[in-house]
Chains A and B, each alone.
Chain A
Amino acid sequence: MNRSLARAIAIGAAALALILPLFAGDYPLQVARNVMMYMALAVTWDMLLRSGQISFGIAGLFGVGSYATILAVVRGGMPDWLSIPFAGLFSGLVAFLIGLVILRLRHTYFSIVTMALGEIFRIIIHNLHDFTGGPEGIVIQQGVMFGGKSSHLYWLALGGLAVALGASYWFDKSRFRFALTAIRNNETSAKSSGIDIFRWLLVTFVITSAIQGMIGGIFVQSYGFASPDSVFSADFTLLPMAMALLGGIHSTVGPILGGLLLGLVAEWLKLKIPYGHLVVYGVMIIVVILFMPNGLLGMARKAGKKAAGGQRDQA
């Protein structure tokens, strides 16, 4: 695929996403909103994965952002629009403090500790009953943002996705790409080339966590409610992972592609199988890892190479 065609497709898709509320009804917009939030989480998960570190803690940082927003609004009287960047800032700060410790150990150890994050934050929210509303959750009294107007909420979620994609694009075009790829490929040689591994990982962890927290803020602002079981739900870890893996990791396009496919399927499955629809994602993760570790994008690239090779043979 040549570059100008790719750019034209990207601009066309962005324009279509922007004007969708002009002709789509409330339900499609709500589905689109959820899909975009999951997609943003998928892209940010992938950004950290590019350094070779897997986080199982998406739901944890998403939930921290959710609670930061709702508590700032309900307890602190913060204006709606400010509470979303605040969620990003707060999650970033939390990620910084945790990252200082847990990024000392990497790979498996890092992954498993992040797996515990969601659970830990949930216990904290449970126990700080008076401040957080405890297990019953907490409601924004004045209702959701923009009076619940679905087109505005859609654009808000689109904005969140744009931030995630922008960051991912920036990672791809700046020194981040080289640093993270070097760390992923071989830490020893990365270190000997003068890369401060710990610093790059920490910065990446903080940025991706901040975006995940911000998406959490957008989530509660569009539903007006947060409870430990809803915002720390394993869905928010599982679905983004499955999306990025299916689409193809280490890229911006892969998670978008996987997100579109799986997001629409997810909404449909949620209606068909209310209990246990997540089994599909578990099985999908297993199948993708075993048989197509580079995802759909990797398969497309392979097919493209084969086609190109075939043409050369004929000539």
Chain B
Amino acid sequence: MYLVFCVAATVVLILWKPTVLIYGLQTAGLYAAIAIPMGLVLGIVHIVNLAHGEFMMLAAYGTYFACKALGMDPLLAIIPAGLITAAFGWVIFQLTIRRAIKAPELNQLILTFGLAIAFTQVINLVFTSQTYKMPLDYVSSSMDIGELTFGTWSFVFIAMAILYAFGLKFFLTRTTSGKAALAVGQNPKGAAIVGIDVYRIYGFVFALALALVGAMGALFLTKSAIFPSVGSPFTMKSFCLVAMAGVGNIPGILSASILLGISENILRAFRGTRGWADIVFFVLIIVVIMSRSLKGRKS
């Protein structure tokens, strides 16, 4: 049923506005690659990190100034950015979030909200609200198929999202530390009983998620201008996607992202509706909540 609908929608889009489909998928890749690490943290550490997008913003700023100073291409910085963000995230985790893991959920939310504000405002204080952008030629590369012209660089986000989703799946099911992390996510007490150091796993998973976010920060910089509040919409959209997919369902994040990315780009395709595109995720999350609560009432 869903499959038929998806195929039909794709065919309609290809015939009607192929660019919407292409740009929609590219946006979806970007959203998914940022949302997947949030899903990982939520699924295993059980913390909603409201500073998620802000960590990416910090990574992008760090990459920008490192690249400016060394004359380096941001693409070369992807792995170092990931490692440094992971180290930074691990320190932040040990200093703050670790102390709140046993606290009520409310405290965790307020704590990470405080982190988000502190990060944004430190950047605001140091660099003001000016925007920064890397001038790169390969970003504007494009491709022609028949009469159709579209930008190709953003396909890298799709590749990244697929890499993250399958890489994580491999890690969680095939490696020892991954299996330990999964066990901690399912039942921390049981995991502690069989001899897993739960807090070490929490710190490790948090750092791993931040490595993925940090790498995305460097990649994000190739495409977009950065400013202090650039990360906050990604925090909300990531949470929306994770909530739509359901906690612990990483492939679900991919399909939720496609829905969000394509809906946004359908609205962006018209002059009259362009301004409303950023409202889509809110409508989607409301629809998801409504349908879940209706389903819940039936059963």
Contact = CB atoms under 8 A, between A and B. Distances in A.
Contacts of A279: 117-118, 121-122, 124-125
Contacts of A283: 114, 118
B110 interface: yes
A124 B278 CA distance: 10
A124 B120 CA distance: 24
B195 interface: no
* Overall SS of chain B's interface: helix
B236 A245 contact: no
Nearest to B121: A279
Contact of B115 (A101, A126, A241, A286): A286
Contacts of B48: 108, 112
Contacts, number: 113
Interface stretch (A7-15, A31-39, A270-278): A270-278
Interface string B88-102: 000000001001100
B111 A286 contact: yes
Given A52-B106, A101-B286, A276-B125, A119 B111 contact: no
Interface string A100-144: 011011011101110110011001101100000000000000000
Given A119-B278, A123-B279, A285 B114 contact: yes
B107 interface: yes
A104 B129 contact: no
A274 to B, nearest CB: 10
Interface in B274-294: 275-276, 278-279, 281-282, 285-286, 289-290, 292-293
A238 interface: yes
B279 to A, nearest CB: 5
Interface in A265-315: 273, 275-279, 281-286, 289-290, 293
A56 interface: yes
A276 B122 contact: yes
A125 to B, nearest CB: 11
Nearest to B51: A282
Interface residues of B, number: 44
B48 to A, nearest CB: 5
Contacts of B293: 104-105
A54 interface: yes
Contacts of A111: 109
Interface in B239-282: 239-240, 243, 275-276, 278-279, 281-282
A111 B106 CA distance: 9
A184 to B, nearest CB: 9
B234 to A, nearest CB: 12
B103 interface: yes
B110 A289 contact: yes
Contacts of B111: 285-286, 289-290
A276 B227 CA distance: 13
B216 to A, nearest CB: 20
Contacts of B116: 282
A289 B107 contact: yes
B239 to A, nearest CB: 5
B199 interface: no
Given A123-B275, A293-B103, A108 B109 contact: yes
A115 B236 contact: yes
B113 interface: yes
Contacts of B121: 276-279, 282
A112 B285 CA distance: 10
Contacts of B120: 282
A289 B113 CA distance: 11
Contacts of A273: 125
Contact of A54 (B106, B124, B286): B106
Q: Quick one: which of A52, A124, A279 has the most chain B CB within 10 A?
A: A279
Given A113-B286, A113-B289, 17 more contacts: A49-B106, A54-B106, A104-B289, A105-B289, A108-B109, A112-B50, A113-B285, A115-B50, A119-B278, A123-B275, A123-B276, A275-B124, A276-B121, A277-B121, A278-B124, A281-B117, A285-B111
10 contacts: A107-B105, A116-B236, A126-B275, A279-B117, A279-B124, A282-B115, A282-B116, A283-B114, A283-B118, A289-B103
